[in-house]
């Protein structure tokens, strides 16, 4: 099972932009000299590299080079690690109990997130969830250019044989479509920026209000239908 992070496992403090959005805004201003770029770019469900490229494009660089993007990402991670000290992420629903219940039931639990690995680690640590995931079992924003690619890599890290069924848990149509593209099942949670209807319409197998231990029976039912 591959879990998305933002809007699925954790959320920002609720009073203004999250540490991640702030860090992207500040790093793009530092690199390009243009402020408030983060208000012009879509964040939810997109990978850090895709966001960074959009920020640079909005600042007037129509085709940012990989080096330009990496420079922004490096700045971003440094600022994120600073911002999470004061603007901690919070867990959503009963994430801890849900993940533990899945593991007890026999699932391999990993991450499938658009965050670069260092960013993922900073966010999970600030929410007190860093002990819950083995970061080696996951696909990250720095693993591939698309969500589909990072999910494929994350699935392989969890199951090198490629024989086990994969279920993606996420909060946006990007998660759902990428799950579909790699032949995985998808549980969507409407705890982020999309409502239940939008997530069902784009093809989620199941839409849940949040992650809690009852997710185990949902997964069992999905596996029986496959």
Residue 7 touching Mg ion (CB under 5 A):
yes
3-state SS record for 47-104: CHHHHHHHHHHHCCCCCCCHHHHHHHHHHHHHHHHHHHHHCCCEECCCHHHHHHHHHH
CB of 35 to Mg ion, least distance (A): 25
CB of 175 to Mg ion, least distance (A): 6
**From 1-9, 73-81, 85-93, 130-138, span contacting Mg ion (CB under 5 A):** 1-9
Q: How many residues bind Mg ion (CB under 5 A)?
A: 4
Question: Which residues, including other chains, have CB under 8 Å from residue 206's CB and lie 6 or more apart?
Answer: 186, 187, 188, 218, 222
Among 3, 4, 87, 204, binds Mg ion (CB under 5 A): 4
Residue nearest to Mg ion (CB): 7
Residue 48 touching Mg ion (CB under 5 A):
no
Copy the structure tokens of residue 22: 């702030």
Long-range CB pairs of 159-165, under 8 A, 24+ apart, other chains included:
159/108, 164/108, 165/223, 165/226
Residue 6 touching Mg ion (CB under 5 A):
yes
- Could you tell me the maximum CA-CA distance found in the chain, to the nearest angstrom? 54
Residue 26 touching Mg ion (CB under 5 A):
no
CB of 4 to Mg ion, least distance (A): 4
Q: Which of residues 155-174 bind Mg ion (CB under 5 A)?
A: 171
Give the footprint of Mg ion on this chain (CB under 5 A): 4, 6-7, 171
């Amino acid at each position: 099972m591959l879990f998305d992070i933002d809007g699925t496992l954790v959320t920002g403090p609720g009073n203004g932009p999250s540490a991640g959005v702030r860090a992207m805004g500040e790093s793009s201003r530092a690199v390009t000299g243009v402020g408030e770029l983060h208000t012009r770019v879509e964040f939810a469900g997109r990978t850090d590299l895709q966001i960074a490229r959009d920020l640079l494009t909005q600042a007037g660089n129509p085709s940012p080079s990989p080096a330009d993007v990496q420079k922004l990402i490096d700045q971003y991670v440094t600022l994120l690690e600073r911002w999470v000290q004061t603007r901690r992420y919070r867990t959503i629903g009963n994430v801890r109990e849900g993940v533990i219940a899945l593991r007890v039931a026999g699932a391999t639990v990993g991450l499938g997130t658009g965050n670069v690995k260092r960013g993922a680690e900073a966010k999970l640590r600030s929410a007190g969830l860093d002990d819950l995931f083995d970061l080696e079992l996951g696909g990250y924003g720095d693993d591939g250019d698309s969500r589909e690619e990072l999910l494929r890599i994350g699935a392989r890290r969890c199951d090198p044989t490629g024989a086990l069924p994969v279920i993606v848990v996420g909060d946006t149509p990007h998660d759902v479509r990428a799950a579909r593209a790699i032949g995985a099942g998808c549980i969507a949670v409407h705890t982020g920026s999309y409502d239940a209807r939008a997530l069902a319409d784009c093809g989620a197998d199941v839409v849940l209000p949040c992650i809690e231990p009852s997710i185990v029976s949902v997964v069992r039912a999905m596996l029986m239908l496959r």
